[in-house]
Structure 1
């Protein structure tokens, strides 16, 4: 995508499920010196972009929080985003969380869901999820906040956008356990269950993939090194394409049964290989490492 806005600043639209952390993200971006506009109707995005273009560098990074509080106006967001993207680099961040977590958050603050009406909190969440489905599909960055508290979410946002100053694309390599579910915000998923499980080795069971003994065991298995070399090589053109298309973030999820041994060891090895790709910053996360 070509930025035809001259010296106009960067624009990020933040949206997603109510209760998923939009306010926390807005505050984190403000701390990073973004100019943040909250509860902006989609129809006001074009005037906002025009202002950033006229600001002559005074507003280099602008974030607009757009959500269902805009009532009927919110329905126009997909069309507005399509129109804006034809002339400027405008990115869309979508915040999500599981229904169970969202219900718990609304109950904790004792507030109704904005689409709840005469129904339950879950009714409102399901209505909103259906309404947001096409918007989620067009997002440049999806963050699932189910496992985050407000401090962890703020830290995640800070890490993502601080790294942008030195890289055109940030990739998160995240280990996980299939028995806890595939990460919903993963762009690509790799399955390490083709390797023997260290869990069945009494000497390794209590350790994790971050321990040298487990790492050596996993890497010594038939196919492990071949997979790492081939998969890293196959991702290189994908990451180059992401940069050409101005996709600034992606997540590669690496899974095994419990997310403790194979996926952890292989995720760290894969991240080390991807760190050599030009223009790419690599982060490693282990989602299920602390679970039993």
Structure 2
């Protein structure tokens, strides 16, 4: 186990400034995230994660005014002396005008407005959080940010080269069993001759070299690979620009045993050679 404890990020700030977006991005970056946590329980969460996942697991907790009277104890419970981890207090803020507009668009009342106006709730929240904002390790003003810009900022601050890479899954499947519902791209390999009709290849599958060689040697196979993989690279670059870090490519044939499996392995290999974090899966292999 790594002897160096991973980071603890405490996310707080104004309602409507982007706490949920930040928490989601931190989760995508590999953090164990707990939302709306009473500050007195921070050290307990750290201890439970240390015991179950190890000290190398980064943690993020979201604390806000919904925590009520517990909120005053945040500073005492977030220190490295208490948690045993290096801690960053992230405060998200925006102008009142923007926060009002975002809350009205969400059609949700402010937790501190009571029977008053939304703006009154925001002003009260600023008073409660004033000292915490001044003590924050990092303040991000999201006034002029959209969702993608905020996730980019969080990734820039808390991501690692490994966590910010695009993770690509290439999966084979059989059309007779249905198209994978989570696929971002679907390609049909039924334009290639089926090894099922070659007696010596029928009992094998696309991971076996004779089948893989047969599939890739068919007319159009290499042309397809040479044209399709660059399309996937173009899409992958766009995904990263838009803050998406997961891409699923589904490669299908009739039964998900020969053509789709062989082409899935080849596509995964070519993307891997280009530096992508790729895993190859075979949904329906062995199903028949």
| TM-score for the superposition, normalised by structure 1 | 0.51
Structure 1 residues 39, 33: closer, same or farther in 2, change over 3 A?
same
CA distance in structure 2 between the aligned counterparts of 1:114 and 1:144, rounded to whole angstroms: 21
Query: Which residue matches 2:39?
Result: 42
CA distance in structure 2 between the aligned counterparts of 1:83 and 1:32, rounded to whole angstroms: 22
CA distance in structure 1 between the aligned counterparts of 2:72 and 2:154, rounded to whole angstroms: 26
C-alpha displacement of 1:160: 2.1
Q: 1:151 aligns with which of 115, 139, 148?
A: 148
1:98 aligns with 2:95: yes
Q: 1:12 aligns with which of 9, 13, 16?
A: 9
Q: 1:120 aligns with which of 117, 121, 124?
A: 117
CA distance in structure 2 between the aligned counterparts of 1:160 and 1:83, rounded to whole angstroms: 19
CA distance in structure 1 between the aligned counterparts of 2:30 and 2:79, rounded to whole angstroms: 27
Secondary structure of the residue aligned to 2:129 is: helix
Structure 1 residues 128, 84: closer, same or farther in 2, change over 3 A?
farther
Structure 1 residues 149, 55: closer, same or farther in 2, change over 3 A?
same
Unaligned runs of 5+ in 2: 163-288
1:177-216 equivalences under 5 Å are: none
Query: Which residue matches 1:139?
Result: 136
Q: 1:31 aligns with which of 13, 28, 42?
A: 28
Structure 1 residues 164, 66: closer, same or farther in 2, change over 3 A?
farther
CA distance in structure 2 between the aligned counterparts of 1:113 and 1:16, rounded to whole angstroms: 13
Query: Which residue matches 2:243?
Result: none
- Which deviations, in whole Å up to 9, do the C-alpha atoms of 1:138-177 show, x marking residues without a partner? 1111100000111221122112223588xxxxxxxxxxxx
Q: 2:75 aligns with which of 74, 78, 82?
A: 78
Secondary structure of the residue aligned to 1:113 is: coil
CA distance in structure 1 between the aligned counterparts of 2:150 and 2:90, rounded to whole angstroms: 13
1:260-275 equivalences under 5 Å are: none
Structure 1 residues 97, 64: closer, same or farther in 2, change over 3 A?
same
How many residues are treated as equivalent by the alignment? 162
CA distance in structure 1 between the aligned counterparts of 2:135 and 2:83, rounded to whole angstroms: 14
Indicate if the aligned counterparts of 1:92 and 1:141 stay in contact, CA closer than 8 A.
yes
Structure 1 residues 110, 56: closer, same or farther in 2, change over 3 A?
closer
Indicate if the aligned counterparts of 1:8 and 1:56 stay in contact, CA closer than 8 A.
no
CA distance in structure 1 between the aligned counterparts of 2:159 and 2:132, rounded to whole angstroms: 26
C-alpha displacement of 1:88: 3.2
- Which deviations, in whole Å up to 9, do the C-alpha atoms of 1:116-150 show, x marking residues without a partner? 01111110001000100111111111100000111
Q: CA RMSD in A?
A: 2.4
- Which deviations, in whole Å up to 9, do the C-alpha atoms of 1:59-83 show, x marking residues without a partner? 5211001111112211221232347
Q: 1:129 aligns with which of 126, 134, 140?
A: 126
Unaligned runs of 5+ in 1: 166-292
